[in-house]
Homo-oligomer: A and B are copies of this chain.
């Protein structure tokens, strides 16, 4: 609760951020109704800014919107997941390719250091912790940043990843493939450090595809119940 913003003209952005956080944290569950009046009361603001935030969230894929009916937290199907992963494959492969061409030696070293840290975390924590603790996400975001393409970064960071996060939440815990993923990450980092764009792109493509295979198996298995 608590009042949302002080400066004039920021309330809609603040609400958007709050709603996004609530959805991704699971405080608002998929399918849940997002009534404008209720949200307006909750954020102590009028319906105008709330409407604006909801439209933007719908555009980002976190909210489904039906004219004259209203907004709900989006429910992602298995078909949606496939579509998302196909897009992810293309975007991340391109990001890795560009990152290899553009990353400075220092940036490549930093990426390697990040993986070293992840390796330590995997050794210390029980199986599967890597993926869930955000280590996987960190790595992919850094590469998107190194691509030097702000549009690709935006698509990944504020559209695709949030939707994937919502997907995992909806379909229960997904165990991930921590150890294998880390090894693949290391190969990708090497390709980037070597400036080999084609290889980095190829490896990233395989990495995403493997991740999809693993996820699709769990999801379809779950869908049968």
Tell me the chain A residues, 29-67 only, with Cβ under 8 Å from chain B. 48, 51-52, 55-56, 59, 67
A10 contacts partner chain B, Cβ-Cβ < 8 Å: yes
Copies per complex of this chain: 2
**Is A67 touching B152 in the complex (CB atoms < 8 A)?**
no
| Binding-face segment, A87-95, A127-135, A173-181 | A87-95
**Is B98 touching A151 in the complex (CB atoms < 8 A)?**
no
**Is A87 touching B149 in the complex (CB atoms < 8 A)?**
yes
Within the complex, the shortest CB–CB distance from A70 to chain B, in Å, comes to: 11
In angstroms, Cα B68 to Cα A98, docked, is 36
Selected from B13, B59, B151, the residue in CB contact (under 8 A) with A59 is: B59
Tell me the chain A residues, 80-120 only, with Cβ under 8 Å from chain B. 83-84, 86-87, 89-91, 93-94, 98
Size of the A side of the interface (Cβ < 8 Å), in residues, is 27
**Is B67 touching A9 in the complex (CB atoms < 8 A)?**
yes
* CB-nearest residue of chain B to A160: B151
In angstroms, Cα B51 to Cα A90, docked, is 34
Within the complex, the shortest CB–CB distance from A132 to chain B, in Å, comes to: 25
* CB-nearest residue of chain B to A163: B151
A8 contacts partner chain B, Cβ-Cβ < 8 Å: yes
**Is B9 touching A152 in the complex (CB atoms < 8 A)?**
no
**Is B67 touching A150 in the complex (CB atoms < 8 A)?**
no
**Is B151 touching A83 in the complex (CB atoms < 8 A)?**
yes
Selected from B13, B52, B98, the residue in CB contact (under 8 A) with A52 is: B52
Chain B residues lying within 8 Å of A152, measured Cβ to Cβ, are 83, 86-87, 90
Within the complex, the shortest CB–CB distance from A89 to chain B, in Å, comes to: 7
**Is A83 touching B9 in the complex (CB atoms < 8 A)?**
no
Chain B residues lying within 8 Å of A87, measured Cβ to Cβ, are 94, 149, 151-152, 155
Residue from A10, A90, A91 with most neighbouring chain B CB atoms (10 Å):
A90
Chain B residues lying within 8 Å of A56, measured Cβ to Cβ, are 55, 59
A-B contact pairs, 10 of them (CB 8 A): A9-B67, A51-B52, A56-B59, A83-B149, A83-B152, A86-B152, A87-B94, A87-B152, A87-B155, A90-B91
Shortest 8 CB-CB distances between A and B: which pairs? A90-B94, A90-B90, A9-B68, A83-B151, A9-B67, A86-B149, A87-B151, A83-B149
